Amino acid sequence: MRRSLLSSAFVALTVLLAACAPAVAQRIHIAAAAAATTKANPADFVGAKTCTMCHRPEALGMASNPHSKLELTHQGKGVTCEGCHGPGKAHVESGGDASKIFSFTHGNSQQMDGQCLQCHQADHPGFSRSAHADAKVGCVECHGIHKSQEQTRLLKASQPMLCYNCHKDIKPAFSKPFHHKVNEGLMTCTDCHDPHGTFQKSMAKSAAQDDAICIKCHQENAGPFIYEHPVVKTEGCTFCHSPHGSANPRLLARNNMNQLCLQCHTGLAGDQFVAGGPPTSPVHDQSMQYTSCIICHSQIHGSNVVDTFIR
């Protein structure tokens, strides 16, 4: 019996370590990259002016780049070309051998992310466990350091077109009759999602009170309520609403309000729905198909009056 328990524990530990291995490996790489830069010999740095002799187009583009502002700090000893590419002495002395310096063109996604996270780790501490990192979508897939359309965040393209490059399955939703105004420019994808990773599904952000990010705009549904609709807390807004777009008003997931409610409230007796008391079943005969549940239960997100959410 004891041997069986030990064997089961060993198998469980093996599975856990295998699941954690990619994230652990990336963190180790990031730490190693940071350590390598820290230990670099100051004599191996040649300065940005030397880089400009061969890489003039890239150097000219850096004049309006936010990174270049860092060069002016600390008496001109801030971040320069070698802050990202590493010491350039060996590269220069070899006549431009690309293997003698770190190249974002030839490096893999983990190596490139490691270089960026040397400075941006505090801003994006969860990136290594994000869906983008798991899919090997690195920093330079979205950000163009030398060339970018958006100066604030150095994005290669403006939202939402940048996100649509990969998320083609989401794009059609914003053309439906009822949708969030992303294509119109009134919202962006990053208003709701953090591309660098969160603890929420689909990298969704959280509101200040740790509720769904929807509450940031739809504060009338925030509460707190004396009587809360359980599904709002347990399943979230997307159980009833399609967040990107829908053919139904209010971005509802179903075109019939009663059918939406009856996903949970399904107490049956023969062919009729009967009184069963909340929250298991509806009280009224649902054969009155044109009578919507929310005509009476209008405070469906929560109520301070009665637990059946009647106004």
Assess whether pLDDT exceeds 70 at residue 55: yes
In percent, how much of the chain has pLDDT > 70? 75
Contact status, residue 240 vs residue 231, Cβ threshold 8 Å: yes
Assess whether pLDDT exceeds 90 at residue 287: no
Strand ranges (E), 198-263:
227-228, 245-246
Residue 32: predicted pLDDT: 39
The DSSP bridge partners found for residue 204 are 193
Residue 153: predicted pLDDT: 87
131 backbone dihedrals φ, ψ, rounded to 5°: -65, -35
Residue 73: predicted pLDDT: 62
Considering the chain, what is the average pLDDT of its residues?
Answer: 79
Assess whether pLDDT exceeds 80 at residue 288: no
Residue 189: predicted pLDDT: 95
**Position of tokens 């850096």?**
62
In percent, how much of the chain has pLDDT > 90? 33
Assess whether pLDDT exceeds 60 at residue 178: yes
Average the pLDDT over each of 25-39, 45-59, 90-104 and give the range with the smallest value: 25-39
Contact status, residue 61 vs residue 48, Cβ threshold 8 Å: no
Residue 165: predicted pLDDT: 94
For 89-111, the pLDDT digits (tens) are 999 999 999 889 998 888 788 88
Assess whether pLDDT exceeds 60 at residue 266: yes
Single pTM value for the model: 0.74
Residue of 235 and 165 predicted with greater confidence: 165
What is the spatial distance between Cα 126 and Cα 131, in angstroms, rounded to a whole number?
A: 10
| Count of C-beta atoms within a 10 Å radius of residue 81 | 23
Assess whether pLDDT exceeds 50 at residue 160: yes
